[in-house]
Amino acid sequence: MVRLPEYDDMDAVDIAHQISTKALSVKEVVEAAIDRIEVRNPQINSIVTSMVERWPSDFAKTASDSPLYGVPFLLKDLVAAFEGVPFSCGSRVLADYIPDHDSEMVTRFKHAGLIHLGKTNTPEFGLMGVTEPELFGPSRNPWNTAHTPGGSSGGSAAAVASRIVPIASAGDGGGSIRIPASCCGVFGLKPSRGRTPTGPDQGQLWQGAAVEHVLTRSVRDSALMLDLTAGLDQGGHFPVALPDRPYSEVIKEAPRKLTLAFSTNNPTGGSLHPECLRAVEKTAQLLRSLGHEVEEATPEYDAQQLYQCYLSMNLGETAAAVGHIEEELGRSLKPGQDIEVMTAMLVKLGKAYSAKEFAQALHAWNQYARAMGKFHQKYDLYLTPTMADLPAKVGELMPTPIEKLILKGLYNLPVAHLLKRTGVFEQLAFRQLEKLPFTQLANLTGQPAMSVPVHWADNGLPVGVQFMAPMGDETTLFQVAAQLEAELQWQQHKPAWLAAD
């Protein structure tokens, strides 16, 4: 049996309050979290690096008046470095890499009072919409362990959904906060470009498409965490005006009457699962009952071009990142040994794109931002499904063994441009994109967006819906999320197997 049964139903704000009023001690709370790590993590493989032994020394200098003093926390094993702790990014080649410094986000997490108990699983270099790295094996969805928790923040989402911790770090370069949030029935907000820091190791993370934040069960935890981490770090690239009032305060007020657009059209031209359609329709009806105006409308942009631009950026960034590792090691990385075959393919394809093609793809981002700017002249928020399908089964969206053999053979083509012409990678990428087609738009425009857990399918899997807001308007997103949370009480839903603990 796990200790402190009530821990399962407490969010980070609750826990911090219980500690500050001495109703609970930090030791009691941490022991409760460790119990859950030991009992639940083997079922879902969310935590891949333990920091349990070091938490007393790491936490010793934390100010007792920190807003989230003593709250257990998990750190995604990507982007954010923690001094002295392995930082693999889900890759075998970095399995033994130990940074000698903290990232700025980790510094802010520490100042918030959080206790780091481990690092969570991520696909190699965060490149997939599922979390199945060869280094650590797949993470699994707490609602049905045959299914994926999504990616690339799947380990964090699974840990939060299984009540191991109330809050865990996450990042989003194409949906990697929102997709796992939808898969696991938790709340996930992608902040505006530049809202949170990426330094000192990163600057324009994925050319500004990627941003760091957290996954939570409650809206107020996410809002408070953004209050505590928002703002440029030294040398930051994208200044975004801070809100007039803290997010954790404005969520206590209902939003003004809003005009929202919704769309259930799959931008790839593919299908939409009936449960995803039902989630949007249910949310639209609820918003109308709360006094908002909701109508069907779709922004005008070329979705196929957007996906190609996104892939071009992704390929170029992957080639550059792996190239940097090769320079540091002084050797080429071996596909299937140092890095996964799929990653090696991305690197080779990235090298096949010219500087001109890469720049042209980045220039096209402006078209999408302008199109959404025009759209938001009429609509305060844009509502879509978060995903076009329910969470896939583990392995379903990864290359099959035969496909891996084909990829390895194609990798050996002497000229990268020949590989590019085969179109094999685009076919594999499209297999994911047609199931995950809604999230990339906000990454390229830089807008804030969130996935809200509004629905559970007949088979028990969660279904989220996505809201996008104008650049810099996290306030409205948080207010609407809090309004929906009050109506739907989604935190009452929990995976049935947790009761057996």
Can you tell me the distance from the alpha carbon of 220 to that of 11, in angstroms, rounded to the nearest whole number? 9
465 falls within a domain: no
Residue 330 and residue 188 share a domain: no
Give the CATH number, domain containing residue 91.
3.90.1300.10
Residue 237 and residue 311 share a domain: no
125 falls within a domain: yes
Confidence (pLDDT) at 262: 99
Residue 477 and residue 364 share a domain: no
Residue 493 and residue 426 share a domain: no
Confidence (pLDDT) at 427: 72
336 falls within a domain: yes
* Residue written as token pair 């990678």: 425
Domain count, the chain: 2
Confidence (pLDDT) at 119: 99
Token code pair at residue 204: 């324009």
Confidence (pLDDT) at 409: 73
Q: Per-residue confidence of the chain (501 residues) as pLDDT tens digits?
A: 688 999 999 999 999 999 999 999 999 999 999 999 999 999 999 999 999 999 999 999 999 999 999 999 999 999 999 999 999 999 999 999 999 999 999 999 999 999 999 999 999 999 999 999 999 999 999 999 999 999 999 999 999 999 999 999 999 999 999 999 999 999 999 999 999 999 999 989 999 999 999 999 999 999 999 999 999 999 988 888 999 999 999 999 999 999 999 999 999 999 999 999 999 999 999 999 999 999 999 999 999 999 999 999 999 999 999 999 999 999 999 999 999 999 998 998 898 888 999 999 999 999 999 999 999 999 999 999 999 999 999 999 988 888 787 777 777 766 566 566 666 667 767 778 899 999 999 999 999 999 999 999 999 999 999 999 999 999 999 999 999 999 999 999 999 999 888
Long-range pairs, 243-248, Cβ under 8 A, ≥24 = 243/474, 243/475, 247/223, 247/474, 247/475, 247/478, 248/220, 248/223, 248/224
Residue of 340, 381, 349, 343 lying closest to 483 (CA atoms): 381
Residue 207 and residue 97 share a domain: yes
Residue 226 and residue 315 share a domain: no
* pTM assigned to the model: 0.97
265 falls within a domain: no
Question: What is the residue range of 45's domain?
Answer: 5-253+473-500
Residue 33 and residue 82 share a domain: yes
Integer Rg of the chain from CA: 21
274 falls within a domain: no
Confidence (pLDDT) at 345: 87
Residue 424 and residue 478 share a domain: no
**Which residue out of 156, 162, 176, 182 is catalytically annotated?**
176
429 falls within a domain: yes
DSSP structure string for 133-153: -TTT----BTTBTTB---SSS
Residue 56 and residue 166 share a domain: yes
The answer to whether 176 is a known catalytic residue is yes
Residue 477 and residue 428 share a domain: no
Residue of 179, 208, 196 lying closest to 444 (CA atoms): 208
Residue 382's DSSP bridge partners are 261, 468
Token code pair at residue 208: 């500004």
**Which residue out of 88, 91, 139, 152 is catalytically annotated?**
152
How many residues are listed for the chain in this entry? 501
Helix axes 401-411, 341-352, angle to 10 degrees: 40
235 falls within a domain: yes
Query: Is the CB of residue 453 less than 8 Å from the CB of residue 490?
Result: yes
Residue 156 and residue 58 share a domain: yes
444 falls within a domain: no
Residue 128 and residue 19 share a domain: yes
